[in-house]
């Protein structure tokens, strides 16, 4: 394989990984931007999405249905959690959120083990998606291209939603000044609940999309959330653009790192994060709190 | 909150130490591990409770101390008490540059920066096979250079209790010292402390290094206790667990986090004996504690007394 072809294929691989990472990171950054909550359960919700996705597909045989069921389940759970636990804690210190979301992550992981067992499960792709296409005469899985498209579509939709709709306006207002937003007659509590539910749904959708590629296993959540943290911190907590840039950076660093310097790849993303935070404590696109 | 009487705390630690000669063997082993975790949580309380720097990378100094002490005892047969102290000092030395970078920030950025350093340690340990044993870790670590009395189960337990008492005295001495008061001043009002001529960054760095020193000692004691070290010691879930211990017990009280460690450890142990899905109940327990006991277990104790 000539270097240019290899480079192209690796770029496509990196883009598809970036797309998956974007789904979980975007929710994390939205939750932080609007609620000032670092959600440690976000990886577990991603994992929940993967499991619900696989289970739905096993039961119904439809991959498409699994992409609907997974975010729905996570949204319901997220909404319940926000109303029952988080909403009681907004007046308190940061550390309170840390403990409750960590507790949720722990409980959710165990609940998943209880329901689906400890073995990893893989989703089967429908025939129409499991094929390959030829990129510069080399075979490449269609599904990875589809992931890139899904990530792109999600990014555009969310961006348009944030910038062009009334709800998006409300979200941005609540992120910048919740007191003023509430004083203008908006129910900030409901905005927070909606954001949390949507962010959970996004993570679960990412999980369901990842299930055919990564398979649903119990370690999935605690591994993927670290990547998401790295992305969100590199991009700047609460920044949409930063999250997109961070996802690309980490996706490319991991894909190319694993190929060209497997010994250093694991440490590279963390070193990248340290470098960014030392130079710009607020992240690339964020503001210092 | 008024700090607990140090004499009472030392008495409790002494009691926990002497329990080794009363309890059956396996219960002593459990208690030894719990006391090591108490020391680990105590070290984090200096950062989280006293300086209000929420570290999410405390697995870093813990694992570093464990690896340093493990390697020293395994390769060169350094006697355990020296290996533990040297590992603590080594961790503290590394904490100077790391802390210098971390304490410029605060809040979530500090938490994530400390997390990144711990994960970097994880990556180094997993990949640097020749020195660290890679993902297998280092096994067969001896309790080097100890007389038989101290190398046994009860003896080692006493040794751990002595280290815990010493660490508590250091931590308590620090927060009641003039320097410790300045740390509190920087925590409460950075601008004012700065106007009084204190450099907030250097003050925070001092706490950071002391906290890493004690965490390194805790990790080193764990290496001697378990007899092996593995990269999992560096993993972020360890940082999460110890942070839960601190907040569960009541951050900023020194004794609270130690009790939190005991409660966490025994809750995990008892629940896992009762049911396979102990994590489910432990997770729900945390959520309930946060909602209904805002200042941790120590807050509950204070309110009822």
Interface test with A, best of B280, B288, B292 (most A CBs within 10 A): B280
For B277, residues 6+ apart whose C-beta sits below 8 A from its C-beta are: A110, A111, A113, A114
Q: Once rounded to an integer, what is the mean pLDDT over residues A271-283?
A: 87
Report whether B35 contacts B164 (CB < 8 A): yes
Higher pLDDT, A154 or B289: A154
Q: Taking residues A188-193, what's their average pLDDT?
A: 88
CB contact under 8 A, A99 and B286: yes
Nearest to B91 by CA among B182, B181, B263, B221: B221
Most confident of A137-151, A255-269, B32-46: B32-46
As a whole number, mean pLDDT of residues B180-189 equals 89
Q: What is the mean pLDDT of chain A?
A: 88
Alpha-carbon distance B280 to nearest alpha carbon in chain A (angstroms): 4
The burial class, CB within 10 Å (0-12 / 13-18 / 19+), for B104 is middle
Whether the per-residue pLDDT at B283 is higher than 60: the answer is yes
| Residue A199 binned pLDDT confidence (cut-offs 50, 70, 90) | very high
Per-residue pLDDT tens over the stretch B266-276: 988 888 888 77
Mean pLDDT of A95-119: 86
Average of per-residue pLDDT across A60-85: 92
A 24-83: CB under 8 A from B: 32, 38, 40
A91: contact with B, CB 8 A cutoff: no
Q: Residue range B191-202: average pLDDT?
A: 89
pLDDT in tens, B79-114: 999 999 999 999 999 999 999 999 888 888 888 899
N-to-C CA span, chain A? 48
**Taking residues A84-92, what's their average pLDDT?**
85
Percentages of chain A per state (helix, strand, coil), in multiples of 5: 75, 5, 20
CB contact under 8 A, B120 and A271: yes
Segment A202-251, tens digit of pLDDT? 999 999 999 888 878 888 888 888 889 899 989 988 888 999 999 999 99
Q: Is B292 exposed, middle or buried (0-12, 13-18, 19+ CB in 10 A)?
A: exposed
Contacts of B240 in chain A (CB under 8 A): 40, 102
Determine the pLDDT at residue A98. 79
Q: Which residues of B touch A270 (CB under 8 A)?
A: 116-117, 119-120, 123
pLDDT reading at A171 higher than 90: no
Sole residue written with tokens 């931590």: B171
Q: What pTM does this model have? A: 0.89
A40, HSE (Cβ side, Cα atoms, 13 Å): 29
Q: Is A258 on the interface with B (CB under 8 A)?
A: no
More confident residue, B294 or B199: B199
- Quickly state the pLDDT bin for B304 (edges 50, 70, 90): low
B105 closest CB neighbour out of A96, A111, A281:
A281
Within 8 A of A104 by CB-CB distance, chain B residues are: 283, 287
Mean pLDDT calculated for residue range B201-230: 94
For the segment B147-172, the average pLDDT, to the nearest whole number, is 89
On average, the pLDDT of chain B sits at: 88
ipTM value, please give it. 0.85
Tens digits of per-residue pLDDT, A5-34?
A: 888 999 999 999 999 999 999 999 988 888
Flag if B109 and A264 touch (Cβ within 8 Å).
Answer: no
Contact B280 A100 (CB under 8 A): no
Is B280 within 8 Å of A110 when comparing Cβ atoms? Answer: yes
Average pLDDT over residues A162-190: 88
DSSP H/E element including B27: helix B25-45
For residue A230, the chain B residues in CB contact (below 8 A) are 116
pLDDT value of residue B3 = 58
Of B236, B243, B287, which has the smallest distance from its Cβ to A100's Cβ?
B287
Quote the tokens at residue A192. 């927070």
pLDDT at B260: 92
Q: How far is CA B305 from CA B1, B17, B166, B298, B300, in A?
A: 14, 27, 28, 11, 9
Q: What is the pLDDT of residue A189?
A: 87
Q: What are phi and psi of B44, to 5 degrees?
A: -70, -30
What pLDDT sits at residue B109? 85
The pLDDT, as a whole number, for residue A218 is 84
Lowest mean pLDDT among A30-44, B28-42, B63-77: A30-44
């Amino acid at each position: 394989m000539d270097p240019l072809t290899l480079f192209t294929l690796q770029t496509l691989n990196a883009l598809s990984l970036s797309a998956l990472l974007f789904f979980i990171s975007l929710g994390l950054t939205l939750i932080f931007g609007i609620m000032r909550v670092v959600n440690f359960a976000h990886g577990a919700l991603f994992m929940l999405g993967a499991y619900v996705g696989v289970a739905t597909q096993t039961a119904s045989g439809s991959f498409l249905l699994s992409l609907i069921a997974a975010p729905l389940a996570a949204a319901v759970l997220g909404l319940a959690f926000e109303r029952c636990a988080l909403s009681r804690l907004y007046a308190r210190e940061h550390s309170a959120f840390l403990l409750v979301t960590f507790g949720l992550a722990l409980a959710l992981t165990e609940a998943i083990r209880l329901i689906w067992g400890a073995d990893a499960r893989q989703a089967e792709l429908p025939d129409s998606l499991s094929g390959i296409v030829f990129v510069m005469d080399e075979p490449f899985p269609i599904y990875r291209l589809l992931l890139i498209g899904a990530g792109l579509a999600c990014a555009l939709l969310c961006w348009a939603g944030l910038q062009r709709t009334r709800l998006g306006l409300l979200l941005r207002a609540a992120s910048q000044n919740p007191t003023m937003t509430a004083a203008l007659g908006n129910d900030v509590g409901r905005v927070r609940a909606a954001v949390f539910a949507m962010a959970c749904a996004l993570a679960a959708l990412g999980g369901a999309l990842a299930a055919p590629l990564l398979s649903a296993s119990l370690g999935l959540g605690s591994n993927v959330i670290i990547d998401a943290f790295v992305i969100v911190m590199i991009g700047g907590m609460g920044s949409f653009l930063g999250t997109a840039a961070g996802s690309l950076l980490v996706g490319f660093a991991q894909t190319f790192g694993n190929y060209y310097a497997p010994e250093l790849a694991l440490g590279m993303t963390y070193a990248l994060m340290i470098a960014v935070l030392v130079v710009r404590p607020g992240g690339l696109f964020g503001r210092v709190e | 909150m008024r700090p607990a009487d140090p004499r009472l705390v030392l008495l409790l630690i002494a009691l926990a130490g002497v329990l080794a000669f009363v309890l059956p063997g396996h219960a002593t082993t459990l208690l030894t591990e719990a006391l090591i975790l108490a020391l680990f949580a105590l070290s984090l309380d200096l950062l989280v409770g006293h300086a209000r720097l929420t570290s999410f990378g405390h697995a870093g100094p813990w694992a570093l101390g464990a690896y340093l002490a493990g390697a020293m005892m395994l390769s060169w047969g350094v006697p355990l008490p020296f290996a533990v102290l040297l590992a603590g000092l080594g961790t503290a030395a590394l904490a100077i540059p790391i802390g210098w970078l971390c304490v410029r920030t605060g809040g979530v950025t500090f938490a994530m920066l400390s997390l990144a350093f711990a994960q970097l340690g994880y990556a180094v340990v997993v990949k640097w096979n020749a020195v660290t044993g890679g993902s297998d870790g280092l096994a067969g670590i001896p309790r080097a250079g100890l007389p038989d009395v101290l190398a046994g189960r009860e003896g080692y337990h006493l040794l751990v209790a002595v280290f815990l008492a010493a660490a508590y005295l250091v931590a308590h001495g620090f927060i009641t010292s003039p320097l410790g008061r300045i740390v509190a001043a920087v925590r409460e009002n950075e601008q004012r402390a700065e106007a009084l001529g204190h450099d907030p960054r250097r003050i925070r760095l001092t706490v950071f290094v002391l906290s890493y020193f004690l965490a390194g000692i805790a990790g080193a004691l764990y290496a001697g206790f378990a007899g092996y070290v593995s990269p999992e010691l560096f993993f972020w879930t360890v940082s999460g667990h110890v942070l839960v211990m601190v907040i569960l017990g009541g951050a900023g009280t020194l004794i609270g986090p130690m009790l939190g460690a005991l409660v966490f450890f025994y809750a995990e142990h008892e629940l896992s004996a009762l049911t396979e899905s102990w994590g489910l109940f432990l997770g729900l327990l945390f959520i309930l504690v946060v909602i209904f006991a805002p200042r941790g277990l120590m807050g509950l104790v204070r309110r009822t007394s």
